[in-house]
Structure 1
Amino acid sequence: MSEATTLYGDLGGQYAAELARHGVTSAMLTHKWQRVDLIAPHSDLDIRLALSGSPTSWRQWNESLAAAHRAAVAASPDNRRLLEHPPGFAFTVSEIDARQVAPAELATWSLINGHAPTLQRWRSRAQMAAWDSQDERFYRAILDARLRGRYQLAADSTDNVSRDMSGYRRHCVVWHYLALCWFAAACLATRTRCPGKTAALNQWRPAGLERFAELFLHQVHATTERGRPDAERLLRAAHRALAVAMGHVPVQAGGTSGLGHGSPSTAWIMTAGTLRVRRARWLYYLDPPPGAATGYLIAREAKELQAVTATLRTLAADRVTAEQQLAARMAELIPQGATTAATLRRALADLNRNSSVVEDFLTAPLG
């Protein structure tokens, strides 16, 4: 059994136990990416929750989730990186069964605990769903955020990295930049939803890319320092590889305006899914365990919240229906611009003052 399999398997079990101790129950606990994509000790566990139903109070549920995450991180200094942030999404089982969760998101899930056949059914259905504009937006957004000089190695914070700093910087180049863009390019070129980064590097190798795929797979899985290039040299190679890769990606037809998650119902659920855990994230970022750094995570919120607000405003449209008015009111509660600790404290206070709006949006599906 590999180090990564043992490390992340144990970590997932510990996290599930901590959730249970804090009263956070889920029908299924999953993480993004396949197990082979988790590179010990550098990859973090990006968790998703599938709930049997909505809790009585999303506010109380988030407070418990934040407390559970804080306790899990406090259990080991390594967990400051391995459990960098609280879960990224929470959906209900009925929403997933109703195909209201984006297939591109579901296709990457791996089981931590729960009913394996159910997850396999969800993933198989996601793989077989017809390719559409929401897939184009999903994968092109990955590229748009990183290509043409947008990826900056210095912005990949090392604040919570406690060992093998040079190895972590190489990991950032290969796994946060090259492999993630390769994954998105492979999906766009083949119009399929790849389950992970390793699969993309192994399975999508157009002419001129074979040696790059082998190079970067070797680098990310290498266990010794001997002969390994520094991060800056790897970054230059990654730029060259992606320049070739993008030549195999079809030119985008039309714009990317409108809903980023396809149908209004899917856009609503995807937006609610990320907002359902936002309060827990903010609570954790504002009060992490001793030694855990969250300043860079607070700053990172701005970009994610900008996308959330854009979707909410599109859902609000002309504010005629009750659902549109609810989306508009929710959009007004999302912080705009740069995010700081003070920003998040004000946002939490706003959510508390408008609890009925928040609870209604997070619970009520789009009719």
Structure 2
Amino acid sequence: MAVIEAPPLYSGLGALYERELDAHDVGAVMLTHKWQPADLLAPHSDIDVRVLLPQAPADWEEWNHRLAAAHTASVGREVSHRRLLEHPPGFAFTVAEADGRLVSAPELATWSLISGSARDFQRWKSRAQMAPWCEVDERFYRGILQGRLGGRYQLAADSTDNVVEDITAYRRHCVAWHYLAPCWFAAAALATRTRCPGKTAALTQWRPDGLDGYAELFLGHAEDRPDARPRSPRHLLRTAHVSLEAAMRRVPDAGPVGQGEEHARTDWVMTSGMLRVRVARWLYYLDPPPGVATDYLIRREAKELRAAAQSLNALAADEATPAQRLAARMVVLIPTGPTTTGTLRATLALWHRQKSTVQDFLTLTPGDVHP
């Protein structure tokens, strides 16, 4: 199996993004992206950034405005960035949260370093790989499957609005890399109870009897090999359905697993980390650079916000502690229906009016979750 080298495009893109964040005083001490370099397939893959901060900013709302401005500037530099930098970062964490093992281990296991301390990064990655398997892992990987299997993945929903090269090839990429590969990645992790670092690694390393041909087929499309016979996206999608049906037979049913002492704090940090960057995303989606389409990204927010509301309700529990009561106040600020431009504008206004609640929630330290 040939090793897929990360295209130089993405290392340059990461360096550009780092410069723009610095120019807008975002204050990041480390940038990472989800997935491994071999998983970023030019020109189709976007780069999904995570921001590490030395400490929580004094004003999360104002920080988000700077983050949105930096992202807008980065996208405006090249037409191709409309797809490559499809959205602002997906999470923001503090160094203390990552160092305290409070970032979800299966999430962190997928990270690759863009900039920052390689020593710290490798320590966090090693810890994530070595941590005992627990409920957080089961929810993470089964959530990937539940979001795509059973007809939930819709090729038509993978918008081509910001794609500037070879639409048909991009649609094949969507089938292989947005549907088949994430499910294979999750299935491999659940079947082996190990945290796989990425899609290419899963397709390369996890091949139970009878599945080798499927893995080779989709790796061939991912690598765009000259000998890979092009198939129509619809044909490839049918093959993906068959492949995953076979793969799922190797995945054990969910069973009892340890929760881990820190699982509640991890849930808090992951929910907070995702909500910390929401304002930047909404600002960018509502006022993108000329020619950039964001309607489909606005619609996608509904899924993210429903997940956040579900987590907040669980964190609020019986509202017996100050942290639980804070989660209860935060959940009422999360829209749970379809997301439109009107929804996002209204939520931005609501969060501004309730700024102290939002700031308190996003800044709460994990140690305060269970005093």
Report if aligned partners of 2:4, 2:223 keep a CA contact under 8 Å in 1. Answer: no
SS of the residue corresponding to residue 248 of structure 1 reads coil
Match for residue 324 of structure 1? 324
Please list the CA deviations of residues 63-116 of structure 1 after superposition, one character each: whole Å capped at 9, or x if unmatched: 000000000001111000000000000000101111111100100000101111
Match for residue 184 of structure 2? 182
CA RMSD for the aligned pairs?
A: 1.7
Please list the CA deviations of residues 311-344 of structure 1 after superposition, one character each: whole Å capped at 9, or x if unmatched: 1011111222211111011001111200000000
Match for residue 355 of structure 2? 355
Give how far 1:5 is off.
2.5
Task: Give distance in 2, aligned partners of 1:28 and 1:214.
Answer: 35
Counterparts in 2 of 1:102-181, with a 5 A limit? 102-181=104-183
Match for residue 22 of structure 1? 24
SS of the residue corresponding to residue 33 of structure 2 reads strand
TM-score by length of 1: 0.96
Match for residue 66 of structure 2? 64
Task: Give distance in 1, aligned partners of 2:35 and 2:108.
Answer: 10
Match for residue 272 of structure 2? 272
Report if aligned partners of 1:131, 1:191 keep a CA contact under 8 Å in 2. Answer: yes
Please list the CA deviations of residues 254-278 of structure 1 after superposition, one character each: whole Å capped at 9, or x if unmatched: 79xxx9x972211111110001000
Q: Which amino acid aligns with 2:21?
A: L
Of 4, 7, 13, 1:5 maps to: 7
Identity of aligned residues (%): 60
Q: Which amino acid aligns with 1:349?
A: A
- 1:281 aligned onto 2:273: no
Unaligned runs of 5+ in 2: none
Match for residue 223 of structure 2? 221
Q: Could you list the runs of 4 or more consecutive aligned residues of structure 1 that deviate by over 2 angstroms after TM superposition?
A: 1-5, 223-227
Report if aligned partners of 1:133, 1:262 keep a CA contact under 8 Å in 2. Answer: no
Match for residue 80 of structure 2? 78
Of 231, 234, 249, 1:232 maps to: 234
Match for residue 95 of structure 2? 93
Give how far 1:10 is off.
0.3
Please list the CA deviations of residues 225-282 of structure 1 after superposition, one character each: whole Å capped at 9, or x if unmatched: 9731111111111111101100100012379xxx9x9722111111100010000000
Report if aligned partners of 1:54, 1:363 keep a CA contact under 8 Å in 2. Answer: yes
SS of the residue corresponding to residue 7 of structure 2 reads helix
Unaligned runs of 5+ in 1: none
Report if aligned partners of 2:285, 2:294 keep a CA contact under 8 Å in 1. Answer: yes
- Aligned in 2, Cα 1:333/1:302: closer, same or farther, shift over 3 Å? same
The total of aligned residue pairs comes to: 363
Report if aligned partners of 2:181, 2:203 keep a CA contact under 8 Å in 1. Answer: yes
Please list the CA deviations of residues 283-307 of structure 1 after superposition, one character each: whole Å capped at 9, or x if unmatched: 0000000011100000000011001
